[in-house]
Amino acid sequence: MEILVAYFSPTGTTAKVARTIADEVKGDLFEIKPAKPYTAADLKWTNPLARCNREKMLKKEVPCAERIVNFSDYNAIFIGFPIWYYQEPNVIDTFVKAYDWTGKDIFLFATSGGSDIKKVTASLQPRMKGEILSARLLNKPGDITPWLDTLAL
């Protein structure tokens, strides 16, 4: 089974989780990056005019900087990201739209200071022809291995 761990991590928190998952499942790692990188000011969610807030509220598409050329080679795909306003960041929506998910086993993971992942699954599933088999909030390093142990990989 070929496994991909794709992640968006503007502050590095989700990247640490993604690297641990990729190591444990022996998967390839791919960083989802917006075409225009975020600055610290862009991510200051307490500022209503910050880029992250404007994108989310205005439902703006956020183009990805790169594509996965051999996407069809992967059977199982982990997608990781921070949760913004109880949902995935818009760059994740752009990433999902860019590929054919038919027949893929999909696993979502997220980091968050207070939101859960339930709304994310409901938001993404209709846009994917693959099946989201599991979705987990992974804020503590000790949460990763027990979750992976429950998956049929």
Q: Quick one: pLDDT at residue 50?
A: 85
Residue 151 included in any domain: no
CB atoms within 10 A of CB 44: 14
Q: What is the CATH number of the domain that holds 136?
A: 3.40.50.360
Instruction: Please report the sign of the dihedral spanned by the C-alpha atoms of residue 22, residue 12, residue 133, residue 130.
Output: negative
How many domains, the chain?
1
Q: What is the pLDDT of residues 18-45, one digit of tens each?
A: 999 999 999 999 999 999 999 898 888 7
* pLDDT confidence of residue 10: 93
pLDDT at 36: 94
The answer as to whether 139 is a domain residue is: yes
pLDDT band per the 50, 70, 90 thresholds, residue 125: confident
Is position 67 within any domain? Answer: yes
For position 29, what pLDDT does the model report? 98
- The pairs formed by 29-33 with CB atoms below 8 angstroms and a separation of 24 or more are 29/5, 30/4, 30/5, 30/6, 30/68, 31/6, 31/7, 32/6, 32/7, 32/8, 32/64, 32/81, 32/91, 32/92, 32/95, 33/8, 33/64, 33/65, 33/66, 33/91
Considering only residues 47 and 133, tell me which one the structure prediction assigns the higher pLDDT.
133
Q: Is residue 48 included in any domain, yes or no?
A: yes
| Domain-located, residue 66 | yes
Q: Is residue 153 part of a domain?
A: no
The pLDDT, as a whole number, for residue 96 is 95
* pLDDT computed for residue 47 by the predictor: 84
**Structural domain of residue 101, as residue ranges?**
3-146
Structure confidence by residue, pLDDT tens digits, 53-75 = 888 877 889 999 999 999 999 99
Q: How many CB atoms lie within 10 A of CB 3?
A: 18
Q: Is residue 110 part of a domain?
A: yes
Q: List, for residues 74-120, the tens digit of each pLDDT value.
A: 999 999 999 987 889 999 999 999 999 999 999 999 998 777 788 88
